Amino acid sequence: MPESERVVHDFCECLKHFISQPLDLLFTYEALECVFTIKDSTWVVDCGAIQQMYPEIFWGFRNLAEVFARRYFENGLNIQLVVDDTRIQISREFRLLTSGMNMDLITSISAERYESSEAKEMNMLVIPYPIAPESFESCTDAVLFTKDQRIALHDSNVHALRKQLNMAKDGCLLVGCSEVGRHFSFGIGGKSLLAKYPHIAFRKHVEWEFYVPPIPESTQEKNAEQSEPSGERADSEKEKKPRDTGFRLSYKGGQMWLPLLDTTEAETKKIEDIFCREDCRDVIKKVLSLAREAEKGTTIVLTTRKFARAEYRRLNIQYNRGFGLHHPYNIQDEKFFKEILPRLMAIDGAMLIDIEGMCWACGTILDGEAHTRGNMARGARYNSVPVYIQSLWERSYSERRKKRMHQIPIAVIVASEDGMLDILSL
């Protein structure tokens, strides 16, 4: 393996600890190869391409690249050492951005319940420099506490802080920093303030996210866009231009993760390549949006009309392994897509949809005999799919030898509850 390939491979192994998405859909080999260059016998890191592609993850990605480059030849490649050092470095930068906010304390607040309720969809605004609470007195979108009610951010005050956070359910708890570097709550504010300051968004029990005010487009960029010639090419380039949402970091499952990124275009292209056709783009995007919107996760088998009908008859009718529909329904019918499909997805099992956009069955239990070890880090939904695909390959191989069946174009989309999406095929 060439040196550049080996470096990219090793870097990807480290990157998997911070991004819970398929890396082959996020980064091309060429883009990652440009990150590391050798100058004067040392590694030089250039993350410019990544910053342009995904501004949300650039902060953490840069930290990881710098640690990786520094450690690569110091200790051989010790992935765990690189990952641990990266987490420490991200934590340090987080403290700088928030004037010393303690990540462990934030996690404690996210774990604290108030009257049995989780800190779900609540926000804590962080003023990242010494602040005089009185400066917010004239703010129409803020209500200040008296000095006695301002609670210091200490472990001993977690429950009191959680109580104040509950008061800011539809807005945010205002947290400032004194001149001596001590954090304290000083009021509650409206959601409009979230666009002006860094903030912590509590998602559910022991899960939170960190946001910074997104960088606005410069006047120069806007003028450049306005001067672009009209046409399909200009419109498509505008659509692909990344937008900085301000999302920088998430904490869940006991560790920190970089943001989930929009891979719709890459996923669509991957499925188009499986079917070797370009006239099914609208159906593919509908299927992908359906998978992403499933709160509890889902599995969707996308295949040809002929094979979908055959599997419908075999699994749903012959063996009663799911709910076959009386006749297939078109997922591009808005009423069916918005009102009926979500109900069909309320049970376990796979959806069976053909590439023409017709839904044949729901709750389908995929079959097959396990031949390889499963991935214990993933659930039953994910682990059942490779078994099913292997069984399809064996069946099609047997039939191909008899010259009865061609290779089956099939894409199985597995969406997990945590937002991870995988596309598996033969």
| Cβ neighbours, 10 Å, residue 255 | 11
Helix or strand holding residue 48 (H, E): helix 48-53
| Averaged pLDDT, 94-112 | 94
User: Is 71's pLDDT higher than 80?
Assistant: yes
| Averaged pLDDT, 220-229 | 46
- HEC profile for the chain? CCHHHHHHHHHHHHHCCCCCCCHHHHCCHHHHHCCEEEECCEEEECCHHHHHHCCCCHHHHHHHHHHHHHHCCCCCCCHHHHHHHHHHHHHHHHHHHCCCCCHHHHHHHHHCCECCECCCCEEEEEEEEECCHHHHCCCCCEEECCHHHCCECCHHHHHHHHHHHHHCCCCEEEEEECCCCCEEEEEEECHHHHHCCCEEEEEECCEEEEECCCCCCCHHHHHHHHHCCCCHHHHHHHHHCCCCCCEEEEEECCEEECCCCCCHHHHHHHHHHHHCCCCCHHHHHHHHHHHHHCCCCEEEEEECHHHHHHHHHHHHHHCCCCEEEEEEEECCCHHHHHHHHHHHCCCCCEEEEECCCEEEEEEECCCCCCCCCCCCCCCHHHHHHHHHHHHHHHHHHHHHHCCCCCCCCEEEEEECCCCCEEEEEC
| Averaged pLDDT, 104-120 | 94
* CA pair distance 389, 307, nearest whole angstrom: 13
| Averaged pLDDT, 259-282 | 91
User: Is 56's pLDDT higher than 60?
Assistant: yes
3-state SS, residue 170: coil
Contact (CB, 8 A) for 269 and 278: no
Amino acid at 74: E
- pLDDT-based confidence at residue 244 (cuts at 50, 70, 90): confident
Domains of the chain: 3-93 (no CATH), 103-205 (no CATH), 264-425 (3.40.1700.10)
| Averaged pLDDT, 357-367 | 94
User: What local confidence, expressed as pLDDT, does residue 22 receive?
Assistant: 86
- Residue whose tokens read 């509908």: 286
- pLDDT-based confidence at residue 218 (cuts at 50, 70, 90): low
| Cβ neighbours, 10 Å, residue 246 | 18
DSSP result, 125-136: EEEEEE--GGGG
User: What local confidence, expressed as pLDDT, does residue 35 receive?
Assistant: 87
Whole-number average pLDDT of the chain: 87
User: What local confidence, expressed as pLDDT, does residue 325 receive?
Assistant: 94
| Averaged pLDDT, 206-215 | 90
Nearest alpha carbon to residue 42 among 10, 13, 73, 64: 73
* CA pair distance 374, 392, nearest whole angstrom: 18
User: Is 229's pLDDT higher than 60?
Assistant: no
Task: Tell me what percent of the residues of the chain surpass a pLDDT of 90.
Answer: 57
3-state SS, residue 31: helix
Highest mean pLDDT among 176-190, 205-219, 399-413: 176-190
Amino acid at 87: R
Task: Tell me what percent of the residues of the chain surpass a pLDDT of 70.
Answer: 90
3-state SS, residue 377: coil
User: Is 343's pLDDT higher than 60?
Assistant: yes
Q: How far is CA 278 from CA 43, 271, 275, 288, 354, in A?
A: 42, 10, 8, 16, 15
User: Is 414's pLDDT higher than 90?
Assistant: yes
Q: List beta partners, residue 38.
A: 43
pLDDT per residue as tens digits for the range 273-295: 999 888 999 999 999 999 998 88
| Cβ neighbours, 10 Å, residue 35 | 24
Q: Cα 253 from chain centroid?
A: 14
Between 358 and 7, name the one with better pLDDT: 358
User: What local confidence, expressed as pLDDT, does residue 237 receive?
Assistant: 44
Contact (CB, 8 A) for 164 and 181: no
User: Is 225's pLDDT higher than 60?
Assistant: no
pLDDT per residue as tens digits for the range 309-335: 999 999 999 999 999 999 999 999 999
First-to-last CA distance in the chain? 26
| Averaged pLDDT, 191-196 | 92
User: What local confidence, expressed as pLDDT, does residue 173 receive?
Assistant: 96
Helix runs in 197-353, H state only: 219-227, 232-240, 264-275, 281-293, 305-311, 334-335, 341-344
User: What local confidence, expressed as pLDDT, does residue 238 receive?
Assistant: 45
- pLDDT-based confidence at residue 220 (cuts at 50, 70, 90): very low
* CA pair distance 20, 16, nearest whole angstrom: 7
User: Is 148's pLDDT higher than 50?
Assistant: yes
Between 281 and 378, name the one with better pLDDT: 281
| Averaged pLDDT, 18-25 | 89
3-state SS, residue 323: strand
| Averaged pLDDT, 131-139 | 91
User: Is 390's pLDDT higher than 70?
Assistant: yes
* CA pair distance 407, 385, nearest whole angstrom: 18
User: What local confidence, expressed as pLDDT, does residue 232 receive?
Assistant: 47
Between 223 and 367, name the one with better pLDDT: 367
- Residue whose tokens read 């061609």: 406
